[in-house]
Amino acid sequence: MDFGRSERWRLPTPIKILIAGGFGAGKTTMVGAVSETRPLRTEEALTHIGRHIDDLSGVEAKPTTTVAMDFGRITIRGDYMLYLFGTPGQERFLFVWDDLALGALGAVVLADTRRLADCFPAIDYFEKRRQPFVVALNCFDGARPFTIGEVRQALGLDPGVPIVRCDARRRDSSRDVLVTLVEHALRMGASPVGTMS
C-alpha cells in the first residue's frame, strides 16, 4: 500500500494564529476555552516585587502572567489544524513576538475596554508588519459597553479591520472570533497553506 498517496494518511494543513493583546485581556483564557487539547501555559505568579512594573488597575485579582506563550490546537474536519499561540501581554516581552509571529496567518488582538490603550502595542506590531488582524472586545463583567464605532475611533483603526465582541471564556464565542480572522486574512490574500514555520 502506498501510504504517501493515501487520503486516509494525509496530514491536516497547519495554520498558525496568534492571540495577542494587553496584559490581563484574556489571551490565556481564550486559548484554553477553544483548544481541543489541554493548552500549554507558561504562567508565573505575580508578586509584590513586580507591582511597580505591571499595572494591575482593573485586573487586581489577576494572580499570574504569561511569560513566554500559551499554546492550543483545533482540528477542522481533519483538513486543517489551527495552532494557537497566545503572546505575553507586557511590552517587556515583545522580543518573543517576532518568533511567535513568524509564519502566522494572522492575529486576534484581544482588547479589554476597561484598559483599551493596552492593546496599542499589539495593533502597532501587526500594522507595521502588514499582518492581518482582527480586534476582539472581550466583554468583561461590569465593563462599560462601548460601540464598535467608538472603539474604532479610539484605536485609530482602518475601516477594513474587523472588530467583534466576544467572551473569551466561551468556546463558541472564541471560535467565532477565529473564523472572523481566517475569513479576513483570506480576503486580504493570505494563504493558509504553508503558514507554519
Residue 168: is it exposed, middle or buried by C-beta count within 10 angstroms (0-12/13-18/19+)?
A: buried
Residue 46 has pLDDT above 50, yes or no: no
Phi/psi of residue 186, each to 5°?
A: -65, -40
CA 4 to each of CA 33, 46, 84, 147, 153: distance values in angstroms, whole numbers, following the listed order = 35, 49, 28, 52, 52
Percent of the chain with pLDDT over 90: 42
pLDDT tens string 126-148: 999 999 999 999 987 777 788 99
Give CA 123 to chain center in angstroms: 12
pTM of the model: 0.78
Amino acid 71 reads F
What pLDDT is stored for residue 163 in this prediction? 97
3.40.50.300, 3.40.1360.10, 3.40.640.10, 3.20.20.10: CATH of 7-187: 3.40.50.300
83 neighbors 106 (Cβ within 8 angstroms): no
60-95 pLDDT per residue, tens: 555 555 545 688 989 888 788 899 998 876 665 666
| Segments making up each domain of the chain, as ranges | 7-187
C-alpha 71/C-alpha 50 separation (Å) is 25
